[in-house]
Structures are given as structure tokens and as C-alpha cells.
């Protein structure tokens, strides 16, 4: 987590059963600079030195929290920017830079990311999002692991 300032109040929410590779980075709002200002320098952060009356929160553009859904795989050295939501079941490629939201069950890659393909057909994605197997009780998940691992969607759907 980079630029996670207590002043900002930013939050990182990570769902269940996520895989986050080594070197993945989450850049929070305090890494941003105000682009509509005539200067990109963060004067409000140095409120004591400059006596300008601005709040330190006015030092950056606030894009919002970072939200990672459940069953997400974030690849090696991927970078996730503030304000991004990554949908359930998505895959973020190695060294990708995620600058915008990623729909559920979408594989993305590149700098900035672009969709590569969906992991499954739309109707299967909708069914998986409805099932939310990651919210099942532990015993039920344990019983479903062979079905999840083998990709036996119909049998998993029958458990729902």
C-alpha cells in the first residue's frame, strides 16, 4: 500500500479467496496531485509552513477507495490506482496498471489495462455472481472444492 495517508481516510477492501502476487501495489489518493490547479505541487500538505488555511485533504484529487471483489487474482507487480473497483472473479495480468474499473470475471492486462477476454460466457458469469460461493459456510465450500477446481459448473450450480 503506497501513499496511504491517515489524513485521507482511504480504504482498501479485499474480498474472499483472492490471490495477490508478489510486488502488487495499491496507490491511494494521496499519490494524486490536483490537476485543475495551476501547480501540481501539494501546497495544502504543508499547511503549517505556508499558513494558507487549506486543509491537507485539498492536496490531491480524491478518486475514492479501492475495492477488490472475491475470487480475484492480481498478477505480479500489478498496480491498482485509487478509485478502482475490481469485480469478482477477475484476473489482473502481470505488471498491469489498473486505472479504471474491471467488470466481474474479466481478464485484463496492459498499461493502462484493457480487457483481454471474459473468463466465461455471460450467463455463467451471472450465475456465479448470484451463487457467490465464497459466502457459503466453510463446510459447504469444502464440499464444493472438487467441483470448483474441476470447473464442474453444473454440479456446483446444483449445490446452490
C-alpha span between 144 and 139 (Å, rounded): 9
DSSP 23-83: T-EEE-GGG---SSSS--S-GGGGHHHH-----GGGGS-----EEE-SS-EE-TT-EEETT
Q: Which of 16, 13, 12 is nearest to 137 (CA)?
A: 16
C-alpha cell at 97: 496498471
CB 145: neighbour CB atoms within 10 A? 10
Catalytic, out of 4, 33, 36, 52: 33
| Catalytic site includes residue 33 | yes
The residues annotated with a catalytic role in the active site are 33
Amino acid at each position: 500500500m503506497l501513499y496511504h495517508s491517515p489524513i485521507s481516510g482511504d480504504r482498501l477492501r479485499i474480498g474472499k479467496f483472492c490471490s495477490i502476487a508478489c510486488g502488487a501495489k495499491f496507490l491511494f489518493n494521496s499519490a494524486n496531485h490536483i490537476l485543475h490547479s495551476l501547480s501540481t505541487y501539494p501546497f495544502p500538505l504543508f499547511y503549517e509552513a505556508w499558513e494558507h488555511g487549506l486543509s491537507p485533504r485539498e492536496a490531491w484529487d480524491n478518486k475514492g477507495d479501492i475495492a477488490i471483489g472475491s475470487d480475484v487474482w492480481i498478477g505480479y507487480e500489478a498496480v491498482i490506482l485509487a478509485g478502482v473497483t475490481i469485480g469478482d472473479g477477475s484476473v489482473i495480468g502481470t505488471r498491469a496498471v489498473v486505472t479504471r474499473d474491471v467488470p466481474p470475471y474479466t481478464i485484463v492486462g496492459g498499461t493502462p489495462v484493457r480487457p483481454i477476454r471474459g473468463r466465461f460466457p455471460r450467463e455463467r458469469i451471472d450465475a456465479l455472481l448470484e451463487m457467490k460461493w465464497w459466502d457459503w459456510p466453510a463446510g459447504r465450500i469444502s464440499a464444493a472444492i472438487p467441483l470448483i477446481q474441476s470447473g464442474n459448473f453444473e454440479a456446483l450450480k446444483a449445490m446452490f
